[in-house]
Structure 1
Amino acid sequence: MKIGIYGGSFNPVHNGHIHLANTAVEEFGLDRLYLLPSKKSPHRSSAEYAPDEDRLEMLRLAAKANDKLFVSDYEIKSDRVSYTIYTVEHFRSVFPDDELFLLVGSDMLLSFDTWYHFEEILANVTLCVVSRESGDIGQLKKKAEELGKFGKILVSEAAPTVISSTEVRKKIAKNKDFSCYLDENVVQYIRLKGLYSVRGEGKLLYNPDEKKKYLKNCLSAKRFTHSMNVAAECRKLAEKYGEDPDKAYFAGLLHDICKEMPDDVQKELVMSSGYTVCREELETRSLWHGIAGAFFIKKEFGVEDIDILNSIRFHTVGRAGMSRLEEIVYMGDLISAERDYKDVDKMRKLAYADLNAAMREAFAFSMKSVIKKGGVIPICTAEGYNFYTRLLKEEKNDSNLKRGLK
């Protein structure tokens, strides 16, 4: 038989998930496709992540229309980290003589070569890729060709159904209609159980009080104080520059969540994150916690806001073309209340006067510090400095041009 494996949080399972599953069954000729929800972390609140049994039941309801779709609780019941290679090994033991197919979305294929033991995975399964976004088939085929030397990869050209579980949860929390995104039985189940509902004005996912309790237990007093100071600074910068203050506070609060984890734990998170990581970052232990932190809060807290994740991932190294929130967290970390390096007051004044100029100075400060210690500058840091230097020159040229036209 042809046995398919499709894992995910399914939080909740939506029509896009089922479309992807049905497409795979039909296009790749699967006899069975097993849907495996991942285990809920104890750090996630009920507002952001439905209990394991509820996600299993919603999957059963959504899958019952296709008799080739099955729901497995293997990952939920597993006592170890749910690396895909372990799931593949489990299904190989259950189906020793059958052909295994691993179903992934387009975003997963593009980072697949960063997965834990990805070569071993490809040696045991045929990787089946179904697009989740419009217009990315060319990019998927190119990546599949790159990875083809490790195993067989099939890319579907079926049109995607683009739906975000995060957006569905936000609609539920804000009491907006979400029925068009989910199977009607799943809609009824969510309403019956009151899943994903929160009180207040649609505040979903980002409860800083819960996270403060977690940070107090996992960080030293000094690091916790720093995190609180950065959060406060990020809120002020967000108010100054028109960003969401609560979102900025949340990102600043969690920016160092992995800072004091053991090296082996940080390294494992980095290697499992799916982020593109340059050689300089991999070789510099002090840079791991940003990458690890972004992956950790996504995995353990269910944070899916890409802007928050990127602001934590890049808060140590920066990059070219940072979003405003990324800039705020990067700068908030540099000028937080307890910082006392030379000229920190000048950096603080500049941050509130001209954020672009402050970013250029911050990159210069960071690179000087690395050079002084005999370190190697990450490519993204150098690109960030060049980006803001060019940006300031362009702003100056535009200003001169306007004055000349008066």
Structure 2
Amino acid sequence: MTQLKRKIGLLGGSFNPAHDGHLHISKLALEILGLDELWWLVSPQNPLKSEAGMAPLEQRVASAKTVAKGDARIRVTDIEQKLNTRFTVDTLAALQAEYPENAFVWIIGADNLRQMPRWKGWRDIFRRVPIAVFPRAPYSLRAQNGRAARRFFSARIPVAKASRLVDMLPPAWVFLRTPLHGQSATRIRRHIDVSSARH
């Protein structure tokens, strides 16, 4: 008898800092995609982001654990540091080799779908794992008409089938229709900088 794989969502990012927006997306992903767990992959350093203003990894992991502590299904990890990977395509390959008992789905925002052609091996990412895309203002429309969405147009599935996404053979992706959350790490850092300047 074939053993069913655990369904794991992967949400990567700098988490600089983690915030309620991450939690909002995670809870929706757990419910809509029918996941057993969701892992927050706190990146040592996003190759597309500047190191300026980036808090130390330990601090970002700690903030993520604080935000996620109310939901036992969310696992905060710095596994990219342990795997010595910096690019998503390499991280996914390493995770699939390390955890063959898991079925993974990659979770991103519309902003990442739009910029994905800048990522190393972005086509291989689509071919390696199913992808769930969450709307994010103001990127959603442009993302759905962008290069990555056009390239894998035939692999896009309807929202009604999202609960089966994690079991599908890639390439397979869905653009979800969910309520937007206004919080962002950039906005939080900007608020902190303004508050600091006033004191």
TM-score (norm 1): 0.39
Mapped to 1, the partners of 2:63 and 2:27 lie a distance apart of 16
Please give the residue correspondences for 1:40-119 in structure 2 after superposition, counting only pairs within 5 Å.
Answer: 40=45, 44=51, 48-80=53-85, 82-119=86-123
- Structure number, greater radius of gyration: 1
Q: Percent identity between the aligned chains?
A: 28
Cα-Cα RMSD: 2.5
1:3 to 4, 8, 11: 8
The alpha carbon displacement at 1:169 in A equals 1.4
TM normalised by structure 2 equals 0.76
What stretches of structure 1 move > 6 A for 4+ residues in a row?
none
TM-aligned CA deviation for residue 93 of structure 1: 1.5
What letter is aligned with 1:121? I
Distance 1:44 1:201, change over 3 A: farther
SS of residue in 1 equivalent to 2:152: helix
1:162 corresponds, among 153, 172, 182, to 182
Q: Distance in 1 between matches of 2:59 and 2:139?
A: 34
Instruction: Work out the number of aligned pairs and report it.
Output: 174
Higher helix share: 1
Uncovered stretches (5+) of structure 2, i.e. residues with no partner:
1-5, 156-170
- The alpha-carbon deviation at position 142 of structure 1 amounts to 4.5
Contact 1:5 1:102 in 2 (8 A): yes
Comparing both structures, which one devotes a greater share of its residues to strand? 2
Q: Is the partner of 1:160 in helix, strand or coil?
A: coil
Instruction: Mark the runs of 5 or more structure 1 residues left unpaired by the alignment.
Output: 176-196, 203-406
The amino acid that maps onto 2:176 is S
- 1:156 counterpart letter in structure 2: L
Q: Which amino acid aligns with 2:92?
A: V
Query: Are 2:128 and 1:124 equivalent residues in the alignment?
Result: yes
Shift of 1:133: 1.2
| 1:251-301 deviation digits (Å, cap 9, x = unpaired) | xxxxxxxxxxxxxxxxxxxxxxxxxxxxxxxxxxxxxxxxxxxxxxxxxxx
* Contact residue 110 and residue 139 of structure 2 kept, 8 A: no
Residue 6 of structure 1 contacts residue 34 of structure 1 at CA under 8 Å; is this kept in 2? yes
